[in-house]
Each structure stands twice: as structure tokens, then as C-alpha cells.
Amino acid sequence: MSFNTFGKIFRFTTWGESHGLAIGCIVDGCPPNVNIKEQDIQIELDKRKPGQSKFTTQRKEDDKVQILSGVFEGKTTGTPISLIIYNKDMKSRDYETIKNKFRPGHADFTYFKKYGIRDYRGGGRQSARETASRVAAGAIAKKVLENKIGKKFKVIGAVTQLGILGCDVKKWNDKTIRKNPFFCPDKSIVNLWKKYLLSIRKSGSSCGAIIEIRARGIPVGLGAPIYSKLDMDLASAMMSINAVKGVNIGSGMNSAQLTGEQNSDEISRRGKKLKFHSNNAGGILGGISTGQEIVVSFAVKPTSSILKSRKTIDKFGKNTSISVKGRHDPCVGIRAVPVGEAMLNCVLLDHYLLNKAQCGN
């Protein structure tokens, strides 16, 4: 049972609303004696921070994280790590006009029907602001994995499709990703994306995106059969991110179109080195990591808060329409990249620890 907790052994529990005093999380099950400082977490949070380019929301949040417990003299102690981020730039008045209306595509309707009450300010708990807590937890997972696995370990994500414009995944370049406001891995399409997204924003609309996250240096054996499969937990992790509607592992939905011989990644050995000839499996077979690169991708639907008028009802059941004027991302998918990275880090660490428990490896 885990309404607000994610994970099995390495677990984090998030709390907080968009326009409350603060948001934060508790990271539990973190191994002891790992160096963690606030700056390690801040670096990751800064990737997700709003207001960094004209392609994201203009809400100004410096998202400064504070460690309240669990770290002593710079090292984790094995006790829960409590992290807090104070909210700053809340303009709750923006939401007064829509507080009784259910924004289509948002959770306003379902939250209200389920709970009979909701904090409408900035979406309350349903706001993507919650994902900052995940990024903070993921930063800790990353440090632990680097400590346990070593330098070869790396998780990196990118936007591979922006609305109707896909990039060429074969041109994936890690360095490119950090050098453009879209986390785009393919240099050749960045300018086109700029023009496209500006036109989307100007028209008061929004667009969706596909994000791909890759993990390298992963040992064979993470994950467990049946209901603790690595890919099952990854699907769960990614689908838990706001606005995500689809998740692929490796060839994903496309694998339906492959034949058996196309799909089954052949294996051979040269010297001491094992080689898979392809990676349709996305680095996971039978729910367990193969040692190949782990590849997970997911679709983020277009931002539901748009200027264009949409039909809806209010909480009294009356027909009305809505046009959302707040500060919104024209493509929320972009800022989902560090969130996806964080979730992948957390799932990997969780299974790393679980593998120790189950097999002593």
C-alpha cells in the first residue's frame, strides 16, 4: 500500500502541494556511508527548474533543497533522509477564476469526485511540482549507484520526439543533450524544434513529447521474475509521472510488428566479452537486466492548460468553458527528462539492493 511512496527497499515518500508552504520527500532505505551533500541534489533539481528558457513556464522557483536529516558529517547514516523545498513564486490568485471549473485533461474533475474536496491552487497535489521531490530522491539514488557500481554507471535521458517532430535517435549524442533547451540528443533538429515550439506557444496551444532514458553500466541480474520484473517497475515508475500515457521498453509498441528472428537479439562471445547483436529487449529479458544498455521511453501528453477555449462543466454541474491563462509550459514533456532520469535511478538502486537481499550478489 503506497499512496505517496515509491520503491521496495530504497523508498521515497513525497508530500506537498503546488501552492502550499513547501514540498519535499523522505528517502528511506538508503545505504549508509555514502557521501551526499545538498549540492549533489541541487544540480539535478536545476535541470528540472522552471523558467530557464522561454520554452518552459515562467514561474520563478529557485527550488533550493535542504537536507533535514539522515546525513551526518557529509555521509548517509542509514536513517531516513528528509528533504524540503520551500515554495516561493505562488500566484494563487491566478487560480481564483477557475477554482470551480474542471479543466479538461486535468485531474480537477476526478480529484473532486473522489475526495469531495481539493486544493485548486495551481493544481494542488496534482501539480507537476511534485516531481521536484522525485528528482531530489533520484539524485541520492544516483550518488549511491555511482558509489556502488562505479564510473561506468550512467543514466541519461533526452526528448526524442517533440509533438509531430521526431529526432534521429541514431544521432544521439550525450553532450548535445545538455546544450539545448529541449534535452534534444540530435543537433541537426534543434533549430526546427525551436521554430515549431514557438509557433505552438504563440497559437496558445501545446504539444506532447516522447522521452527516452538510457542506463549504462548496469550489471546482469537486476530485477526478479513475475511481479518484481525490472521492466514492470520501470513501467510503473514512468506511468506515475504526470501526463505520461505510454511506456516502452526497448522496441516497445513497435515489437508487435517484428518477426521472431528480427526481435530476438542474438548473442555471441568474442574473447571474454559477451555481445548482443541488437537491443530490441531494451536491456531486459524475463524482467531481469541483461547487462546491455537499458532503454525506456515514454510519451507525455500535451499540456492540458491552454489558452484556447475548451468546453467543460463546473463543480455545480453547469456547462461552461475555460481558457487557462496562468504560466504554463507549452510542452511539459521537456521538463519530464530529469524526472524520468530520477525515476530510472531510483528503480535501478532499488533492484540493486533487492538483488543483494535475494541472491547476495
Is the CB of residue 337 less than 8 Å from the CB of residue 346? no
Closest of 55, 43, 85 to residue 303, by C-alpha: 55
Minimum Å distance from CB 28 to a copy of itself? 5
Indicate the residue among 304 and 345 with the shorter CB distance to a copy of itself. 304
CB atoms within 10 A of CB 59: 21
The gap between the terminal CA atoms of the chain, to the nearest Å, is: 28
In angstroms, give the least distance from the CB of 26 to a copy of itself.
5
- Considering the complex, state which of residue 52 and residue 236 has its C-beta at the smaller distance from a copy of itself: 236
* Closer by beta carbon to a copy of itself, 234 or else 348: 234
Q: Which is nearer to a copy of itself, 175 or 272 (CB)?
A: 272
Instruction: Report the nearest approach of a copy of itself to the CB of residue 65 (Å).
Output: 13
Helices (H), 72-189: 108-115, 131-149, 174-177
Query: CA-to-CA distance for 94 and 269, rounded, in angstroms?
Result: 61
C-alpha grid cell, residue 354: 533487492
Residue 266's φ and ψ, nearest 5 degrees, are: -65, 155
The strand pairing partners of 159, in sequence order, are 211
DSSP conformation letters of 38-78: HHHHHHHHHHH-SSSSTTS--------EEE-SSEETTEE-S
CB 64 to a copy of itself: min, Å: 15
| Shortest spacing between CB 122 and a copy of itself, in angstroms | 12
User: Whole-number minimum distance, CB 273 to a copy of itself, in Å?
Assistant: 10
Contact between residue 155 and residue 344 where contact means Cβ atoms under 8 Å apart: yes
Which residue number, 155 or 349, has a Cβ lying nearer to a copy of itself?
Answer: 349
What distance in Å separates the CA atoms of residue 235 and residue 225, rounded to the nearest whole number?
15
Q: Closest separation between CB of residue 15 and a copy of itself, Å? A: 4
Q: Which is nearer to a copy of itself, 151 or 260 (CB)?
A: 260
Q: Which is nearer to a copy of itself, 54 or 166 (CB)?
A: 166
